Amino acid sequence: MKKKIDFIKFSLVSFITTVIDLTIFRIISNNSKSLLIIAIATIVSRTISTIICYICNKYWVFKSKKQDPKELFYFIFLVCGQIVISAIVVWLLRHLPIPQLVTKMIVDTTLFFAAYFIQKVFIFNEKEA
């Protein structure tokens, strides 16, 4: 039962931080067509939502009590890895006869489950290495 609750909490945090990311992006970008504005909006919104996601996952979802800065490093590495993998896989699958957005949704959903496993087993695991 605890595993189910942890996964539900993880899903809720992911949903909330996605809403935060999109809201901040929308406010900053204000529908601008400028690459610089879009880049700034993306960096700021993703940074803020990632910090919130890290804090919520560490203390609320996985209840990690470790004071190890490696947790944050690994979390940031995971987030960056997800972004890169998503972009590359969506690009590699661009010739599939399905809409690109559907491809991205499938890829990102797979990465979502992988991220849960990686955080639970490797990043916020209370067992000492």
Q: What are the tens digits of pLDDT across the range 5-57?
A: 999 999 999 999 999 999 999 999 998 899 999 999 999 999 999 999 999 99
128 domain residue, yes or no: no
pLDDT digit string (tens) for 88-99? 999 999 899 999
65 domain residue, yes or no: yes
Q: Name the phi and psi angles at 61, rounded to 5.
A: -75, -55
129 domain residue, yes or no: no
Task: Supply the pTM of this predicted model.
Answer: 0.88
Domain limits for position 88: 2-123
Angle of CA points 38, 83, 90, to nearest 5°: 95
Number of structural domains the chain divides into: 1
